A and B are shown apart, each in its own frame.
Chain A
Amino acid sequence: MVIQKVEIQNFRLFYRHNEFIFSNGLNLIIGSNGDGKTTFLDALGWLFRTDGACKTDTNFISKKRWEELLPNDSDEVRVAMTYEHGGEQKVLVKHFRFTKSIVGEIITSDYVFSLIEDNGTERTVKDGYYFDKDLPTEIRHFMMFEGEGDLYALQSSNAMKILIDSYSDVKEFDAYYNFMEYATKNADKARDHALRMDKQNADKARLLKKTIDTEEALLADVEREICVKEDEALNFESLLNNLFEDKEYSKFLVAVNRRIENLVQKRSECAARIREDYNFNLLSDIWILLGFKDIADEYSSKITKISRERFNLENDYLVDQGINNAIKQVESGVIRETKLPAFYRHEYIDELQKRKYILNYNLFEIKQIPQKIKDTISQNERFHNELKKIDAKLELEYEQKKRLLAQADGLSEEQLLANYENILSWAEKKHQAENRIDTLKRQREQHKMSLEEARFSLNKLSEGTVAAQYAKAALLFHHIHDAFKNAKEENKRHIINIIEDKANMFLQHLYADDYTGVVRMIEKQNGQVEAFLMDSDNSRVFRPSYSLNKAYLLSVLLSVGEVLRERNNIEMPIIINDSFSCYDENNENKFFNATNRQMIILTSDYLTQGNDGRKVMDIDKFSTISGTAYRIEKKRPFDNTKLETMQTTISKIK
């Protein structure tokens, strides 16, 4: 199929009639974000829908066109594709009318979906659902892609399974396989019936039949559980391998957290040792006496002087009084002891003197106060410095933690720490699943053997009887059934291998100058077929670079297209809305030249920032491209708050 022309009318940003003429080869539609690339793809997506959904979705109507309509006026939303297929030119068209009512409501009508075939001599109009014959739904999954999200989605969908089932020789076997299933069942029934008629062996036959039924049921259970466990083991392996790099991050994170915890504790202990309540020290520790030495000396001198003076005065008084008394006594001739009146009434000086003694005793401690102050201040400064060092170390650790988390592929700290815990648990669960699979496989063999033995015994039982022929026929049918089953599986594997080989071929072409790994297509138990990138030692490459990841998925895509073309004569274009900027120019061209199928690439590559801030064509880069090219962009001026002012303009640039 080769798309020749696409017409889009009044479909969202495509105001009124717009037309793209495509060549058989590379076609580029270049536009910036919001210019209409996705709208183009959506228009085609709507056109291709043959399931009857979204027929007259009013969201498709161009806002600008709608605003222009007067009451009772109408226009059409129309998308049409002219293409060549099997030597015939065809037009697939879908349109509906929209009318603005008097009250401004949208009324849709006249929905048409047609396929117009023109073989040169005759023009036929068919229902659009006939388009499925030219481009079946299973194949459309491998034709149109909106960014790499669709590429990834392909992996987890049944698309590949359906494609293989539909377009490989596998389906040829379905009829034979289904018939053999039917024949085997009926042969068994006939044999069983004949055995029941054989009264001599009826009981034994019944027992053997029961054994066969039991073993078949057990075998089915075992097969089911093997499927489940294999999926489980695969999942845990994926989880563990995804964690492989994260494991290192997790380990580092645990170590960093431990160091941070230790530093925080050390900081807390250091901060607690800082004692800077100097007002407390001034009073409670009487640091306020730091300048008291001079005053103490002054006091001591003063009191010493006063005490001496006091003593001398008293002494002089006593001496004078004594002499006077002695003279009087001598004169009177009477010698007697006389009590002298006290010279002093109080002993406050004595109090002060005693206070001086204690002061002197304490003076040494008082003189030490300035040094004590200095030592305390120094000690606090040391603790502050230590605190600064700890803070610096903490900052480094926090920075490292931040870097670690930034590199950890968007995993949060909680996830990384949980991962660290999970690794052990998942490894154990994977191991348990694998052990269980081994056990189940042994059981499967035993059940198969038991089943074979029971069938053999049943057939042997019928020897020499009427049932013998039925038994032989049943056994034969079983073998043929198994043969077809094996053939079906082998055929499926064969087609998968072909896709795999071609994918590797494309990958080597797209990524020739760098490490690529090897594409492996693996069929999962649920029938889905998934492509993995593996290393040469058969270990999965879980974190390929962005560009390699995209390259291998695109290789699978191209491979499927090639296989369909070669084996089923189905030619289909590739329509991709994505950026190839992750590739250098060389690899980008390699993709464009990888196949001679028609390609329609919608991209914002080849645009660069102009002097006025708007996006303009990068002429140098663009000049290397050969093929058809269109530039789409919003017509200016427009109001970016009003959709009705916007429309996409198209200009052919190559």
Chain B
Amino acid sequence: MAENYKDIEELVKKDEKLIDLWGRRNPRFEKRYEQSVIRVISDYGVGASGNMSAKGKILGAGYEPYIMAFFIGLYSDKKIPLSEESDEVKGLGQPLQYWGNLDSKKNRKAYPNLRSYIFIALVAKTEIDWIALDKGDIEPATVVTALVKTMEEYANYGFSVMEEKLKEDKGYFFSNRAFLDMFLQLTDKTAKDIEQDDSPESID
């Protein structure tokens, strides 16, 4: 389905885009979640996610739990700032521009377009003086830092939720519906709530 969407990146000018600046960043997470969550449900730290199935992990690369955590925070609209102690946090290890690029490994398709939507969500949820940015009064790096901070804080909340779930039930996320049910609950979408809109919204 991802390939059906018009590629957002093509229409933007070929100068260095904000999303590209953002894409070079390596978001951080609190180290405590590495063992309690990330390594439990993904191949983080192991390598090719082609071995995912064989290892019995439900997710592949480490950014996948990060994406799940981010969206948990986003849909809950809750953030938790990262710890200020530098030795309690670490970078994931893979810049955002590579997230979702894995292709054809064990029946998985690449999903690079998801990055654009994450970026869009961060722009929507981060208070930035965009006028000042365009005027040059603030640096793009500052804006990108703010966007990444928003991302880290949403994900931090998401990781805390996931850790709680795993504490209650070690096998919680090993059900193939665990994440889906969680998102369905958070978004509370049912068939009767769906607006049957047959045409795209007008561009204004």
Contact = CB atoms under 8 A, between A and B. Distances in A.
Asked if chains A and B come from one complex, the reply is yes
Interface stretch (A215-223, A280-288, A383-391, A439-447): A280-288
Interface stretch (B8-16, B25-33, B84-92, B160-168): B8-16
A618 to B, nearest CB: 62
Nearest to A296: B120
Interface majority SS on A: helix, strand, loop or mixed?
helix
Interface string B1-40: 1101111100111000111000000000000000000000
Contact of B203 (A277, A296, A355, A357): A357
B200 A360 contact: yes
Given A302-B124, A364-B199, A292 B117 contact: yes
B5 A365 contact: yes
A371 B195 CA distance: 10
A291 B186 contact: yes
A70 interface: no
A344 B6 CA distance: 29
Given A348-B134, A358-B6, A299 B189 contact: no
Interface in A329-355: 343-352, 354-355
- The DSSP consensus for interface residues of chain B is helix
B140 interface: yes
Interface string A361-383: 11111010011111000000000
B121 to A, nearest CB: 5
A261 interface: no
User: How extensive is the interface on chain B, given as a class?
Assistant: 35 or more
Contacts, number: 169
A421 interface: no
B191 interface: yes
B54 interface: no
Contacts of A144: none
B108 A284 contact: yes
A452 interface: no
Contacts of A362: 5-6
A283 B201 CA distance: 25
Nearest to B21: A348
Contacts of B187: 290-291, 370
Nearest to B15: A347
A313 interface: yes
A234 interface: no
A291 to B, nearest CB: 3
B180 A354 contact: no
Q: Which of A283, A310, A352, A363 has most chain B Cβ within 10 Å?
A: A283
Contacts of A354: 8, 11-12
Contact of A290 (B11, B59, B183, B200): B183
B135 A345 contact: yes
Residue among B17, B123, B125, B195 with max Cβ neighbours from chain A (10 Å):
B123
B172 interface: no
A278 B194 contact: no
* Closest 10 pairs (CB-CB, A-B): A291-B187, A345-B136, A299-B124, A370-B189, A284-B109, A278-B180, A344-B134, A298-B124, A358-B8, A364-B200
27 contacts: A276-B177, A278-B176, A279-B180, A282-B68, A283-B64, A283-B108, A283-B111, A284-B2, A284-B111, A287-B183, A288-B67, A289-B114, A290-B183, A291-B183, A292-B117, A295-B124, A348-B130, A352-B130, A355-B116, A359-B8, A364-B200, A365-B4, A365-B5, A370-B190, A370-B191, A371-B194, A372-B1
Interface of B: 1-2, 4-8, 11-13, 17-19, 58-59, 64, 67-68, 71, 74-75, 100, 107-111, 113-114, 116-117, 119-121, 123-125, 130-131, 133-136, 140, 143, 176-177, 179-180, 183-184, 186-187, 189-191, 193-195, 197, 199-204
